[in-house]
């Protein structure tokens, strides 16, 4: 039986990766989180990889506290370890043992000036988080040839089990709407939402089909701003909430975000539109009867 090693399995994406591989009898799944393997430790990675001897490793770990690592140097060092140097160590081990690595990066490696970015576009991050993820991209590419580097953006899905795991934008909007009939939402930062079960399935396909190694963009179709997505959400969910578009300056945050960072997928078959995925998410996780 084929063996897959998933690390960061308690995160939002990691738990869906474990689910899609477990649903297929041809894979023996080894899904671990930080309590069992530390992505920043060579010793820990070597031990688990030797134990499992996988056909591929999927790295779903991540440091995602975008604002915290902008204003705190110790946090930035941690971000560089988890998002940058750790993946580099993993890639080096992968190369030594001939095991391919899947690693995830983000639209935040781009500055937002060009608004749309294909797989060949040159990163130029404007935040510490973006710099830590770009470091990961460089470390992966420097240390192995056998990598699938998957850039994605605005993940949504069931919240991860881990304490650090962020709730998605849509969950936050639904919670806010319980106490507010009018919501101000930033009408900027146009980019693509990505449903974690869709991304997990596409990851499985990438490994199984053995497509050429390299950089890929995996996002759901339908770029939009936060405001546009909130308006779609309440329409689909048939919730009576008024959404008011505002500038990002109304909600100042320590880290800069790209003003638009639409990832263009020019290499793979596109995923479905994000509103279709959102309908499924609302029906399965909130039991909502959504708009037909
Ligand atoms: N969320 C987004 O919108 C987004 C957008 C673009 C790209 N991405 C990328 O997609 C990937 C998955 O993101 P996600 O949102 O699913 O992340 P997440 O929910 O925050 O989960 C990350 C997981 O990594 C684990 N982890 C943290 N440090 C670790 C370490 N040193 N060793 C082992 N495990 C560690 C965490 O466990 P603990 O709880 O124990 O810390 C957590 O289970 C990441 O690479 C992320 O950068 C995410």
Q: Each residue's pLDDT tens digit in the chain (292 positions)?
A: 999 999 999 999 999 999 999 999 999 999 999 999 999 999 999 999 999 999 999 999 999 999 999 999 999 999 999 999 999 999 999 999 999 999 999 999 999 999 999 999 999 999 999 999 999 999 999 999 999 999 999 999 999 887 767 789 999 999 999 999 999 999 999 999 999 999 999 999 999 999 999 999 999 999 999 999 999 999 999 999 999 999 999 999 999 999 999 999 999 999 999 999 999 999 999 887 666 5
Q: What is the pLDDT of residue 166?
A: 78
Question: Do residues 194 and 220 make contact, with C-beta atoms less than 8 angstroms apart?
Answer: yes
C-beta 11 within 6 A of ligand 1? yes
User: How many A from CA of 14 to the centre of ligand 1?
Assistant: 8
Q: Exposed e or buried b for every residue in 107-122, given b needs 16+ CB within 10 A?
A: bbbbbbeeeebebebe
Tell me the C-alpha distance between 162 and 193, whole Å: 21
C-beta 12 within 6 A of ligand 1? yes
**DSSP 8-state symbol, 220:** -
C-beta 10 within 6 A of ligand 1? yes
H-assigned helices in the chain: 12-22, 42-52, 68-71, 73-79, 86-97, 128-143, 169-179, 196-209, 226-236, 274-286
Q: What is the pLDDT of residue 161?
A: 85
Tell me the C-alpha distance between 135 and 158, whole Å: 28
Question: Do residues 127 and 257 make contact, with C-beta atoms less than 8 angstroms apart?
Answer: yes
What element of type H or E holds 185? strand 182-186
C-beta 154 within 6 A of ligand 1? yes
**Which residue of 6, 7, 11 sits with most ligand 1 atoms within 8 Å of its CB, as the best mutation to test the pocket?**
11
Tell me the C-alpha distance between 66 and 49, whole Å: 30
Q: How many CB atoms lie within 10 A of CB 1?
A: 8
Name the burial class of residue 179, with classes exposed (0-12), middle (13-18) and buried (19+) by CB atoms within 10 angstroms of its CB. exposed
Beta bridge partners of 156: 195
What element of type H or E holds 108? none
Question: Do residues 93 and 44 make contact, with C-beta atoms less than 8 angstroms apart?
Answer: no
Nearest atom (ligand 1) to Cα of 163: 39
Q: How many CB atoms lie within 10 A of CB 188?
A: 18
Question: Do residues 222 and 277 make contact, with C-beta atoms less than 8 angstroms apart?
Answer: no
C-beta 231 within 6 A of ligand 1? no
C-beta 203 within 6 A of ligand 1? no
Q: What is the pLDDT of residue 291?
A: 66
Q: What is the CATH number of domain 2-160+191-221+261-272?
A: 3.40.50.720
Tell me the C-alpha distance between 176 and 169, whole Å: 11
Identify the CA nearest to 181 among candidates 247, 243, 250, 232: 243
Tell me the C-alpha distance between 168 and 178, whole Å: 16
Q: Which residue, chain included where needed, has tokens 């688990």?
A: 48
Q: What is the pLDDT of residue 186?
A: 97
User: How many A from CA of 221 to the centre of ligand 1?
Assistant: 23
**Which residue of 62, 134, 137, 162 sits with most ligand 1 atoms within 8 Å of its CB, as the best mutation to test the pocket?**
62
Q: What is the pLDDT of residue 26?
A: 97
């Amino acid at each position: 039986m084929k063996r897959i090693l998933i690390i960061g399995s308690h995160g939002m994406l990691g738990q869906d990766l474990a689910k899609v591989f477990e649903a297929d009898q041809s894979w023996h799944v080894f899904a671990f989180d930080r309590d069992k393997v530390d992505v920043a430790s060579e010793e820990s990675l070597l031990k688990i990889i030797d134990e499992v001897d996988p056909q591929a490793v999927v790295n779903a770990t991540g440091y995602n506290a975008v604002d915290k690592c902008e204003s705190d140097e110790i946090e930035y060092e941690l971000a560089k370890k988890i998002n940058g140097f750790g993946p580099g160590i993993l890639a080096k081990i992968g190369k030594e043992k001939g095991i391919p690595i899947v690693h995830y990066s983000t639209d935040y490696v781009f500055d937002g000036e060009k608004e749309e970015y294909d797989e060949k576009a040159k990163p130029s991050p404007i935040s510490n988080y973006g710099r830590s993820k770009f470091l990961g991209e460089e470390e992966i590419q420097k240390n192995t040839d056998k990598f699938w580097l998957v850039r994605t953006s605005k993940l949504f899905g069931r919240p991860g089990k881990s304490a650090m795991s962020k709730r998605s934008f849509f969950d936050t909007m639904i919670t806010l709407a319980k106490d507010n009939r009018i919501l101000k939402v930033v009408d900027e930062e146009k980019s693509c939402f990505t449903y974690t079960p869709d991304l997990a399935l596409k990851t499985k396909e990438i490994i199984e089909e053995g497509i050429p190694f390299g950089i890929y963009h995996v996002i759901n179709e339908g770029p939009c701003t936060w405001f546009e997505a909130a308006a779609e959400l309440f329409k689909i969910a048939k919730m009576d909430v008024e959404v008011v578009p505002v500038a990002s300056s109304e909600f100042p945050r320590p880290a800069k975000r790209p003003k638009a960072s639409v990832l263009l997928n020019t290499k793979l078959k596109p995923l479905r539109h994000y509103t279709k995925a959102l309908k499924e998410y609302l029906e399965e996780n909130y039991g909502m009867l959504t708009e037909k």
